[in-house]
Structure 1
Amino acid sequence: MPGQVGAISNEREGLLAYLAQMRYVLRLTAHGLTPDQLRATPSASTLSVGGLIKHCASVEEGWITTVLREQQPVDYEAYENNFRLADGETIEDVLAYYERVAARTEKTIADIADLGQDVPIDHSVPWNPKDIDNWSVRWVLLHLIQETARHTGHADIIREGIDGGTAYPIMAAAEDWPDSPWMQKWQPSGDQQV
């Protein structure tokens, strides 16, 4: 996937394209990392690259479940656990889960005629406004782009703290772009097993 979203012809296509781009860039933060590095928390927080990818997949799944008006339990322990890879859980497991979530999102949005369709607001959480009762599907997609972009930034910082890798050189390595005078592909350090 290129480093930029391509031309878009309508709002729905644009929203889905930007969400897909953010998912892709987030997944790239894991490129070439070892299982230990995917779990590493090199900043002052407990965030890890693997945990952030898992969290974004879970959040997207939750929002699409809300759009579909399906019941979902509020489980605060599960919410906290979605910020870290469980023992025995691999990045391949998490990326496959994220792919299933993305496919469900794409299908759900394709099946909705009006992006202005109401989506109920969960008033049980403190960050949602109490003075309105509904979001729109459009709002949910914009929120998912915002949420994924925010956590991609976190993952970028964590990744850079782990091995110095940054977004475009990692993308160049993942996609095998030719090296150029202004950008070299990310390469694992000598002590890293890939």
Structure 2
Amino acid sequence: MTIERSDPPHSADEVGMLRGFLDHYRATIRLQASGLSDEQLDQSLAPSDLTLGGMLKHLAFVEDYWFSHHLAGHDPAPPWDTAPWDDDPDWDWHSASGEAHADLDALLAAAIVRSDACLDATLAADPDPGRPVARPRDPARGPTVTVRWVLVHMVEEYARHAGHADLIRQSIDGATDV
């Protein structure tokens, strides 16, 4: 598996800048998990139970949740549509244990491709990042978010987990320059 990571642009329009940072952090997470065995992907850094494998699956879910479900208005797709969320609200994290690295990386890579397609279609229909997403949130959770909010949130989501990935990876094999 070859993962290309480019630096975010120094100059771009708003959407180009946000997508550049999002792509950079997407690649960063996948690089942090690259080269590890399936067993290493299941290792956590005590006292946390976060693993790099769980992170790959969680981010695949988050990609589908925000871009496909909310932005494009699609119903949840497998495996999210039948996940036992009521039994385990962190099912995406926990269910990754024992799954092969190649399968988890493929799940995230496919989610990224779907997310980019949803974003491209949304922006082709209306390039305004300030417009609301197709599927409003439950009003009890706050107002409907915008395309801009989804992009900023996804940059935040990946950047936060990139820090976690740095610590987990270093605890596994000492790598600090991934």
TM-score range for the pair, normalised by the shorter chain length = 0.7 to 0.9
Q: Deviations over 1:102-124 (max 9, x none)?
A: 11221211222221121323356
Identity of matched residues, %: 31
> Which consecutive residues of structure 1, in runs of 5 or more, have no partner in the other structure?
171-194
C-alpha separation in 1, matches of 2:170 and 2:97 = 23
1:121 to 137, 156, 174: 137
C-alpha separation in 2, matches of 1:56 and 1:6 = 23
Say whether residues 1:27 and 2:25 are aligned partners: no
Say whether residues 1:90 and 2:100 are aligned partners: yes
2:71 to 55, 63, 67: 67
C-alpha separation in 2, matches of 1:27 and 1:102 = 11
> Which consecutive residues of structure 2, in runs of 5 or more, have no partner in the other structure?
none
The number of equivalent residue pairs is 161
C-alpha separation in 1, matches of 2:57 and 2:114 = 16
Pairing 1:8-47 to 2, within 5 Å after superposition: 8-47=11-50
Q: Deviations over 1:35-61 (max 9, x none)?
A: 111000122111001111211111111
Opposite residue 114 of structure 2, the aligned amino acid is R
1:78 shift after superposition:
6.1
Q: Deviations over 1:1-56 (max 9, x none)?
A: 45622344311121111111101000111122121110001221110011112111
Q: Which of 1 and 2 has greater Rg?
A: 1
Contact 1:54 1:83 in 2 (8 A): yes
3-state SS of 1:46 partner: coil
Opposite residue 16 of structure 2, the aligned amino acid is E
1:103 to 110, 113, 119: 113
Judged with a 3 Å threshold, the aligned counterparts in structure 2 of structure 1 residues 2 and 55 are, in CA distance, closer, same or farther, namely closer
C-alpha separation in 1, matches of 2:88 and 2:131 = 29
With the length of structure 2 as denominator, give the TM-score of the two structures: 0.80
Larger proportion of helix: 2
Name the structure 2 match of 1:162.
Answer: 172
Say whether residues 1:80 and 2:96 are aligned partners: no
Judged with a 3 Å threshold, the aligned counterparts in structure 2 of structure 1 residues 11 and 78 are, in CA distance, closer, same or farther, namely farther
